[in-house]
Amino acid sequence: MAGGAGGVAVVPWYATLFRGDKFEVALLEIAPVALRYGATAWEVQRARDDTYKFMQSADFPDKLSFERYWLSDEFIAWRGDYSSWYQVPVIYGFWDRFGSGSLEGGQSLGRGEQESTVA
């Protein structure tokens, strides 16, 4: 149900020219720090069709916990250290998750297959 307290913080990043690979490494420095601010999971993704495009996300119990992370001294310092490595503005969002799924045992679906569950 939308509007619950917990949610997913989503931060889209766009790396500057020739900095994509370095920015990937930099994101792996700051993303796990979310766990110290109450996140229960974090993830970073990189687009295949545009390798300068990144998506950072983390599950937080509430938006305030995410804001503490985003406005923490270490994240502010990180953004300052790498400010020339990404385009601004960076406009994050706090999203409600209303569905998800996965397969057990690390299996993956073949191309064109769809996941389904039986109740």
| Residue 104 confidence (pLDDT) | 80
**What is the mean predicted confidence (pLDDT) over 42-64?**
98
Query: In this structure, what token pair is assigned to residue 17?
Result: 């020219």
Domains of the chain: 7-96 (3.30.70.100)
Whether pLDDT at 105 is above 80: no
d(CA 95, CA 76): 22
Strands (E), 5-111: 7-14, 41-46, 53-60, 93-95
Q: Which residue has the higher pLDDT, 47 or 5?
A: 47
Kindly state the percentage of the chain with pLDDT values over 70.
Answer: 85
- Using DSSP's 3-state secondary structure scheme, residue 56 falls into strand
